[in-house]
Structure 1
Amino acid sequence: MSYDYRKYKPFPPVSLPDRTWPDKTITKAPYWCSVDLRDGNQALPIPMSVEEKLELFELLLKIGFKEIEIGFPSASQTEFDYLRTLIDRNLIPDDVTIQLLTQSRDHLIRRSFEAIKGCKNVVMHFYNSTSTVQRDVVFQKDQKEIIKIAVEGATLIKKIAAEYPETNIRYEYSPESFTGTELEFAKEICEAVMDVLEPTPENQLILNLPATVEMHTPNIHADQIEWFSRNIKNRDCVLISLHTHNDRGTGVAAAELGLMAGADRVEGTLFGNGERTGNTDLITMAMNLYSQGVNPELDFSDIEHITKVYKSCTRMNVHERHPYVGELVYTAFSGSHQDAIKKGLDKYKSGTTGFWDIPYLPLDPSDMGREYEAIIRINSQSGKGGVAFILDSQFGYKLPKAMHPEFSRKIQMITDETGKELKGAEIFEEFSKEYLTVKSPWSLVKYEIKASMDVDTNGEEKNTVGISCSLKYKGELMTVDGQGNGPIDAFFHALQSTSAPKVHFLSYDEHALSEGADSQAVCYIQVADSKGRSYFGVGVDSSINAASLKALLCAVNRIEANSK
C-alpha cells in the first residue's frame, strides 16, 4: 500500500504582515445565497425532479433566503423547464432574486437569457476557471487567454441584458478555483470584468471568490480575502462573495474568517450538501451567529420540518452529530455532564440570569424546535443527575438531592447488566416498581386523624395530633393508634408499636405533581434502619396526609425487602 506524505506540498502562506482580520468580530449577518438547487443538486446521486426542486424552493423561501441559485438552465431541458415553471407559475416573490449559473461561453449565455424571460429579479452568474492547475492541465491556456474568456462573456452578457428592460439583472463573476489562483491574477481578471460591466456603488458587481477546492487552513483563506478586498479597485462598486467547500473539513470556519476579512456575502447549502465533502453549511454558520447574539436573518426554528423536507427532496441523511441538528447533539451520556446540565437549567429557570449559559449546551434546543426531553439519555455511563432530570422533566417527580444516589444505583445496575440505553418510560417504570407500587408487606387501608390541644407542665399550649389506622401486614388486618405533633409524627409512633422495622426519621420533602387544583401531592420520606442505612419512601395521593403516610410505609417496606 502506498502512503507517502512526501508527494504533497504545503500551501504557501500569503504575505500580509499587517493583516487586520484576527481582531475583527462578526456583528451582523452577511448577504446569504442558497445554492442548494444548483451546487447541492448537481452533487446528488439522483438529482431532484422538478417537483422536488419546487418543494425545496418553497422551503428556502420560508427560511428567509432572498437570493437563491436555481441551477444551470442552459445545461439541460430539465433545468430550463424548472426555471420556466417558477416564472410561469409566478412562484418567485417580488423581493426574492433568483440566480442562475453559466459558463462564460456564447451559446450557454444565450440559452440562459432565454430561460429568464418574464422574471423580475435575476443574478446572471458567469464563471471560468482561473487556477494554475486548471490553466495548465485542463485548458492549456495562458493568463491572457483566460482573461479573454471572461471579458468576452461579460461583454455578451451586458449586451443581451439590454434586451431585457423589464428584468432587474445584476451580475456576478466567479474566478473559479480562486484559492488556487495567484492573487495578482485573480485581481487582474476581476478588474478586466469590472471594466466591461462598469459597476457602481448603487449597482454593485458580485465578485464571488470560490474555494472550489479547499486547499489550505482557514487563516490563509482569510488572508486571501483581506488581500483581495484591500487591493481590488473601486471596492465600493463590488460585493465580495464567498463560496467555500469543505475538503479539509473547515468550510464553515473559512467562511467565518472570510467575513472577518472583509467579505459581504456567503453562498452555501443546507447541511453543507455539495460536491465531494460539500459546501459551507448555512445552518451551522447561521446558528453560530445566533449563538453569539447576532441575528442571522434566517429562520431555523422548525429544524425538524426543515430536516424532513431536505431528506425527502435530496434522499440524503443528516448525521447524528451534525451541529445543532443531529439527533444526539442535545444528548448527554456522561453522568457529570448530566448533573451540570440539570444545575444549569435549574438556575436558568429561576430567572437569576438573563442569558443562556448552560454547561455543555451552547444553544437552547427549544430555539430550534427541539425538546428538553431529548437532552439527557441514560446508559451505563450516566450519573445520578441525569436520572433525576428525566423524572423531573418528563414525569414531574422532583427527587430530593439526597435521593439521587439511591435510585440511580438501581438504574446503573440495570444498564450495566443489559448494556443498553434506558428511555424515559423505562426509567419511570423502574421508579414505580421501586417506590410507587410497593404495597407489601405493609399497606394502608384507612386512617382517621384527630387534633387536640393540651397544656404542658409549664402551662403552655401544646398541639397534639392523634391517628387511628387500619393496616394490613401480609394480608392480616390490624388497627394501631399513635400520637405526635403532626400526622406524620403520629403515624410514625403508631408504626413503632407494631412489628415493623424500627427506623429513625431523617427528612421529609413534598411537592405538587402538576399544576391545578386537582393535582396530586408527592411526598418523599427518608429514614434510617437500625444499622444506620438510609432508605427513601415515596407516596402519591390527592391528600397530602395520605401521601405522607404512604411514603413512610414505602420506606418501611423497602427496608423489610432489603433485609431478606
Structure 2
Amino acid sequence: MSGKQVYIFDTTLRDGEQVPGCKLNTEEKVDLAVRLEEMGVDILEAGFPVSSPGDFQSVTMISRTLKHAVVCGLTRAVQKDIEVAAQALKYAKRSRIHTGIGTSDSHIKGKFNSNREDILKRAVQCVKWARNFTDDVEFYAEDAGRTDNEYLARICEAVVNAGATTLNIPDTTGYCLPHQYGEKIAFLVNNVPNIDKAVISCHCHNDLGLATANAIAGVIGGARQIECTINGLGERAGNTSLEEVVMIINQHKHLGFYTNINPKLLNPMSRLVSDTMRMPVQPNKAIVGSNAFSHSSGIHQDGFLKDATTYEIINPVEVGADESKIVLTARSGRSALAFRLQQLGFTFNRNDIDVIYESFLKTADVKKEVMQEDLYELANAYQLQVSPVN
C-alpha cells in the first residue's frame, strides 16, 4: 500500500473505561479486545495493571488471547507499576509497557512538588526499568500540550537514549489549538537529534472539542501513531475518536497516509462498544451517529436524490452503516415525499404529489417526523379522494 502508515493505538479499554459508568469486567474486555484486533487496531492498551486485581486479570487474559496486535499496559513512573505490568503482559505475543510522567510546569510543581531536572531523571529511570522487560517501551510526557518545547525536546532525547521506542505527546487537557499542537510535533521532529529512533504518538483530549483536529495536525507535523477510542470515549470530554481519524485519513488521500483499520467494521464496533459500556452515541456523532447519513432538509434531500455525493462525502456502506435515510419533516420537499411514497409502492405523478404535499405539510407541522404509517394514511386518503368507492 502506498503512503505512510499511521499506527492506530486503541485505548478504549483503558482511557475509554475511565468514563463514569463504563466499567467493564474481564469477559467484556476480552470480547472487545478480540473485535478491536479483528478491525485492524495495531496497538491495544488493555488497561492499567497495578490499579486493581480486576484490571491485572483483564490485561493478563487479553495478553493470552490476542494473536497479532501489540498488547500494552499503562504504568506510572514507579518501579512496582512497571513490574506488575510486565507480569500481566508476559503471555502476550507482542507486548508494550507504556510509562511516563508529567512534564509541564503545572504538573512538575503542582502535582509532584519537584523541578525539571528531577523529573528528567525520573523519566529516564522509568524507561530503563521498563526496558528490563521488553524492547517495546512507550514514554508519555503527560501534559505535553502545555510543556515548554525546549524542555520537552530534552526529555524526548533523554528517554530515547534510555530505550524508549515510542514518544507519546499528550494534549492531556485538550488545551492546544490544532496549529499549536502540529507545530509542537514538528518542533520535536526538527530538534530531537535521535528522533529517528522513535515513533511520535498523538494522545489528544477533547475538552475544547479539538481532539480529532489536533491528532490530524500532529500526524501532518510528523507523528505516526494516534491514540484514540471508539466513539471518542474517555476522561472528562473524551479522547480522539478512532472512527473520525481513520475516515479523515481515508478521505484525504492527498495527505499520503493510511491505517490498517477495516472501515466497514466501524459502525458495528461503535454499536458493540456503546452496548457493552452502556453509553449511548449522540445521534449527530460523525461517522457512527444515527443521523450521520440522514437527510431532512428539502434542499439537501433534492440534491441527494439527484446525486448522493452532493451531500455525502462517505458512502454509508464504506463504514458499515445502514443505508442513507430520507427523513420527512416540515422542512422536506416534494422530491423527498415522492421518493418515500415510491419506496412504499405508490405511483403518483407530479400533480398528485402537489396535492398530497399540502396535506403532508399539515401533518408535518404537527409532528416532529412524518412516519411510514402517516404516509400510508396520506396516500390512501388521496386515492379515495380521486377514486371514491361507490
The whole-number CA distance in structure 2 between the counterparts of 1:326 and 1:106 is 42
**What is the match of residue 120 of structure 1?**
93
Do the aligned partners of residues 304 and 261 (structure 1) sit closer, same or farther apart at CA in structure 2, a change above 3 Å counting?
Answer: closer
Do the aligned partners of residues 296 and 190 (structure 1) sit closer, same or farther apart at CA in structure 2, a change above 3 Å counting?
Answer: closer
After superposition, where does 1:194-209 map in structure 2 within 5 Å? 194-197=160-163, 205-209=165-169
**What is the match of residue 319 of structure 2?**
368
Contact kept? 2:21, 2:277, Cα under 8 Å: no
Q: TM-score, normalised by structure 2?
A: 0.92
**Structure ranking higher in helix proportion:** 2
The whole-number CA distance in structure 2 between the counterparts of 1:414 and 1:153 is 67
Which of 3, 9, 30 aligns to 2:6? It is 30
Deviation (angstroms), 1:359:
2.0
Corresponding position: 1:257 with 2:206? no
After superposition, where does 1:233-248 map in structure 2 within 5 Å? 233-248=193-208
Deviation (angstroms), 1:150:
1.0
The whole-number CA distance in structure 2 between the counterparts of 1:371 and 1:191 is 48
Describe the SS at the equivalent of 1:32.
strand
Which of 344, 348, 356 aligns to 1:407? It is 356
Do the aligned partners of residues 239 and 437 (structure 1) sit closer, same or farther apart at CA in structure 2, a change above 3 Å counting?
Answer: same
**What is the match of residue 91 of structure 1?**
65
Contact kept? 1:225, 1:263, Cα under 8 Å: yes
1:254-277 deviations in Å (ceiling 9; x for gaps): 111111111111011001100111
Describe the SS at the equivalent of 2:299.
helix
Do the aligned partners of residues 76 and 257 (structure 1) sit closer, same or farther apart at CA in structure 2, a change above 3 Å counting?
Answer: same
Contact kept? 1:208, 1:243, Cα under 8 Å: yes
Which of 83, 94, 105 aligns to 1:110? It is 83
**What is the match of residue 336 of structure 1?**
299
Contact kept? 1:53, 1:313, Cα under 8 Å: no
The whole-number CA distance in structure 2 between the counterparts of 1:28 and 1:157 is 28
Which of 37, 43, 58 aligns to 2:34? It is 58
Deviation (angstroms), 1:116:
2.1
The alignment-based identity, stated in percent, is: 26
Corresponding position: 1:267 with 2:227? yes
Amino acid in structure 1 at the alignment position of 2:122: I
Q: Give ranges in structure 1 of 5+ residues lacking alignment.
A: 1-25, 162-167, 200-204, 346-357, 442-473, 475-564
Describe the SS at the equivalent of 2:167.
strand
Corresponding position: 1:430 with 2:378? yes
After superposition, where does 1:100-499 map in structure 2 within 5 Å? 100-158=73-131, 160-161=132-133, 169-197=135-163, 205-292=165-252, 296-345=259-308, 358-372=309-323, 375-392=325-342, 394-397=343-346, 399-401=348-350, 403-416=352-365, 418-435=366-383, 439-440=387-388, 474=390
The whole-number CA distance in structure 1 between the counterparts of 2:226 and 2:54 is 27
Do the aligned partners of residues 420 and 241 (structure 1) sit closer, same or farther apart at CA in structure 2, a change above 3 Å counting?
Answer: closer
The whole-number CA distance in structure 2 between the counterparts of 1:155 and 1:240 is 19
After superposition, where does 1:513-528 map in structure 2 within 5 Å? none
Describe the SS at the equivalent of 2:49.
coil
Q: Which has the higher contact order (CA 8 A, sep 6+)?
A: 2
The whole-number CA distance in structure 2 between the counterparts of 1:284 and 1:209 is 20
Do the aligned partners of residues 29 and 381 (structure 1) sit closer, same or farther apart at CA in structure 2, a change above 3 Å counting?
Answer: farther
Which of 63, 70, 76 aligns to 2:46? It is 70
Q: Give ranges in structure 2 of 5+ residues lacking alignment.
A: none
**What is the match of residue 532 of structure 1?**
none
1:109-155 deviations in Å (ceiling 9; x for gaps): 11222222232211111111111101111111111100111111122
Stretch of structure 1 that moved more, 383-392 or 174-183: 383-392
The whole-number CA distance in structure 1 between the counterparts of 2:318 and 2:127 is 44
Amino acid in structure 1 at the alignment position of 2:315: D
Do the aligned partners of residues 143 and 363 (structure 1) sit closer, same or farther apart at CA in structure 2, a change above 3 Å counting?
Answer: same
Contact kept? 1:287, 1:296, Cα under 8 Å: no
Contact kept? 1:29, 1:289, Cα under 8 Å: no
Do the aligned partners of residues 426 and 419 (structure 1) sit closer, same or farther apart at CA in structure 2, a change above 3 Å counting?
Answer: closer
Amino acid in structure 1 at the alignment position of 2:321: R
RMSD (Å), alpha carbons: 2.2
Deviation (angstroms), 1:398:
5.9
1:186-213 deviations in Å (ceiling 9; x for gaps): 111121112222x7xxxxx111111111
The whole-number CA distance in structure 2 between the counterparts of 1:32 and 1:398 is 49
Describe the SS at the equivalent of 1:38.
coil
Amino acid in structure 1 at the alignment position of 2:162: V
Do the aligned partners of residues 126 and 420 (structure 1) sit closer, same or farther apart at CA in structure 2, a change above 3 Å counting?
Answer: closer
Contact kept? 1:38, 1:72, Cα under 8 Å: yes
Deviation (angstroms), 1:246:
0.6
Amino acid in structure 2 at the alignment position of 1:177: D
Deviation (angstroms), 1:420:
3.4
Q: TM-score, normalised by structure 1?
A: 0.65
The whole-number CA distance in structure 1 between the counterparts of 2:43 and 2:258 is 18
Deviation (angstroms), 1:40:
0.9
Amino acid in structure 2 at the alignment position of 1:171: V
Contact kept? 1:30, 1:264, Cα under 8 Å: yes
Contact kept? 2:33, 2:66, Cα under 8 Å: no
1:196-238 deviations in Å (ceiling 9; x for gaps): 22x7xxxxx1111111111131111111111111111123211
Describe the SS at the equivalent of 1:74.
helix
After superposition, where does 1:37-56 map in structure 2 within 5 Å? 37-56=13-32
